[in-house]
Structure 1
Amino acid sequence: MQWLKSLIFVIYIYLFMAVWGVVCFPLLLHPKGARWVCGVYAAHVLWLARVFLGIKTEIRGPIPTGEVVIAAKHQSFLDIMMIYDAVPAAKFIMKRELLFTPFIGQYAWRLGCVPVNRGKRGKAIAQMLEDVKKGAAQPGQLVIYSQGTRVAPGDYKPYKVGTAAIYKETGWPCVPAATNVGLLWPRKGIMRKPGLAVVEFLDPIPPGMAKADFMAQLETRVEAKSNALMKELGFDAESKLAGGAERSL
C-alpha cells in the first residue's frame, strides 16, 4: 500500500509542477512572483508528503538569513524543498542542463540560481564565480551542494572545492546543513517511507578561513551531524561506510 501511495504521490507532484508552472507563468515577469510560485509549490509538496505518506519534516538550528552560503548535504528532492521552504530567499548552484528543463529551468533562472557546467571543472568554477561576482543571482541565501550530486545514505563522495571558492569570493559566512531525508525519500526509486525528515542548519563558519581548513571543517561537521540524524532513524551510516572500506581492501 505504501508503494502504491508513493507512486501516486510521485506522479501527482510532477503533474502539479507542470500545471502550476503554466498557470503562474505570467508571474515570471517579476522575481518576487517566481519566488512566490516556487514557495507555494514547496509548501504544498511538504504538506502532501506529511498527510498522504506520513513523512513529517523538521528544520533544526537557526534559519540562515541575509547573504550567506549554505553548504548542504544533498540526498534527494526533499531536502531541496525543505531548504527552499525554510529560508527567506534561497537560490541554488545548479547543473546547467536544468536551465533547459521545462518549468524548472525558467523559474530557477528567474530566482537567480547559478548554473554550472559540471563537465569542465576549472572553467565551471571560474564561470560560477563570475556569475556570483556580477550579481547574476538575486540577493539571498546561496545554496550549494558540496558533494556535487545526491548521495545515498551510507555512501561517500568527496566534497568539491567549488564551495571553498564561493566562500572566498563572496566573503560571506558559510552555514553547513546536514540531513537524513534520503532514508525516507531516496534519490532513486518510487518508495517513500513514513518518518521524521530533518534538515539541520549548523553554526556558521565565519569568513576568512584558509581553503584546506574550511573544507576539512565543513566536511567533518556536515558528515558527523548527518550521520547522527540518520542514526535517529535507526541507520548507522558509519558502520556501512566502514564495511564498504573493508570490502575494498
Structure 2
Amino acid sequence: MSDPSHRPGKVTPLTHVMTGVYYVHIALATVLIGAWGLVFQVLPKGRDGVHRVAGIWTQHLLTMARVYLGLRYELRGTPPQGDCIIAAKHQSFFDILILANHLPRRAFVMKKALLNVPVMGWFAHKAGCIPIDRSKGSEAMKVMLGAVEEARATHGLGQLIIYPEGTRVPPGEKRRYKQGVGVVAEATKLPVVPAATNAGLFWNKRGWPIRSGVAVTEFLPVIDAAGSAPQTLAAVEAVVEPRSDALMADAGFELPKP
C-alpha cells in the first residue's frame, strides 16, 4: 500500500480559498523577484543571472505551495547537469516548477504565445527557451532545430526540456507523442533523459483547486540517442508512460481500463 501522504488530499472550501491566495502570491512574487533579479542578477551577470533568478523563483513557489496548500514533492533519480534533452511527462504547472528548480541551466521548448506572459515570458526568452508556433507544422521543426544549433554554438544548450505530448495531459489520458524529441536527439546526438510524474493528481490542468499531498517527479535512465528519431521517440514513450502510470497508481489513482 502506498504512503497516504503521497495521495491527493480532500477538496474543501478552504482548499479553494488557499488556492486563490496562493495564485495572488505567485503574481506578487513574480513581479518582485523579477524586478530584483533584473537589477541585481541579469544586468550584471547576463544569462547566468537569469538562471539564478529562475532558481530562486521556482524554489520560492515550491516552498509557498507547501506553506499555503500542504503540497510538497519528492524528486527521484539524478538531475542531469550537462547538455541533454529532457523528455518529460507533462500534467501540470507543478511539474514545470519541479524540473526547472532542479536543472541548473534549464530551457523549455514552449508555445510562442507564452513569451507574452508578463515577466515570466521575458525571463524565459533570456534563459534560452525555444518558442515554437505549432501551427507552422514542419516549418516549426526547422525553426526549433535552428535555435538548438545556435544555442549549442554560442552559450551551450543546457538541459532542453521537451514535452513529447506537446501539452499538459490530464491523468489517465493518452496522447500521441510528437516527433520533436526524436528529431532533436537524432540531429544533436545528445543523451535523452526521460522524466515521469504524477503531479496532475494534485495540481490539475485547469489549475484549480490545488490539492495537498506529495507529488513525485522521477528522472529515468538515460536513453542513448544513437538510433533514428522514431526509435528514440518509441524508447522514450516505452518508459515514461508506464512509469507515470505507476506513480499515479501509487498515489491511489485508478487508471482507465483498456
Q: TM-score, normalised by structure 2?
A: 0.89
Does the 8 Å contact 1:173/1:205 carry over to 2?
yes
Shift of 1:138: 4.2
Root mean square deviation of aligned Cα: 1.4
Query: For the residues of structure 2 that align with 1:104 and 1:112, how far apart are their CA atoms?
Result: 13
Aligned to 1:245: none
3-state SS, counterpart of residue 194 of structure 2: strand
Aligned to 1:215: 233
1:86 paired with 2:99, answer no
Q: 1:28 aligns with which of 42, 45, 54?
A: 42
1:206 paired with 2:224, answer yes
3-state SS, counterpart of residue 177 of structure 2: coil
1:73 paired with 2:96, answer no
Shift of the 137–165 alpha-carbon distance from structure 1 to 2, 3 Å rule, reads: farther
Q: Which amino acid is 1:168 matched to?
A: E
Does the 8 Å contact 2:84/2:193 carry over to 1?
yes
Gaps of 5+ in 1: 243-249
Q: Which amino acid is 2:137 matched to?
A: R
1:42 paired with 2:55, answer no
Q: Which amino acid is 1:128 matched to?
A: M
Residue range with higher mean Cα deviation, 22-31 or 35-44: 22-31
Whose relative contact order is higher, 1 or 2, with alpha carbons under 8 Å and at least 6 apart?
Answer: 2
Aligned to 1:7: 20
Q: % of aligned pairs identical?
A: 38
Q: 1:112 aligns with which of 110, 128, 131?
A: 128
Query: For the residues of structure 2 that align with 1:137 and 1:227, how far apart are their CA atoms?
Result: 37
Q: 2:157 aligns with which of 117, 135, 139?
A: 139
Q: 1:125 aligns with which of 125, 135, 141?
A: 141
Does the 8 Å contact 2:88/2:196 carry over to 1?
yes
3-state SS, counterpart of residue 134 of structure 2: coil
Query: For the residues of structure 2 that align with 1:157 and 1:46, how far apart are their CA atoms?
Result: 28
Q: TM-score, normalised by structure 1?
A: 0.92
Shift of 1:21: 1.5
Query: For the residues of structure 1 that align with 2:34 and 2:156, how far apart are their CA atoms?
Result: 20
Shift of 1:139: 3.5
Gaps of 5+ in 2: 1-13
3-state SS, counterpart of residue 64 of structure 1: coil
Query: For the residues of structure 1 that align with 2:249 and 2:93, how far apart are their CA atoms?
Result: 21
Residue range with higher mean Cα deviation, 209-218 or 119-128: 209-218
Query: For the residues of structure 2 that align with 1:95 and 1:118, how far apart are their CA atoms?
Result: 7
3-state SS, counterpart of residue 214 of structure 2: strand
Shift of 1:198: 0.8
Q: 1:158 aligns with which of 173, 176, 197?
A: 176
Shift of the 238–65 alpha-carbon distance from structure 1 to 2, 3 Å rule, reads: farther
Query: For the residues of structure 1 that align with 2:228 and 2:139, how far apart are their CA atoms?
Result: 22
Shift of 1:137: 6.5
Shift of 1:19: 2.6
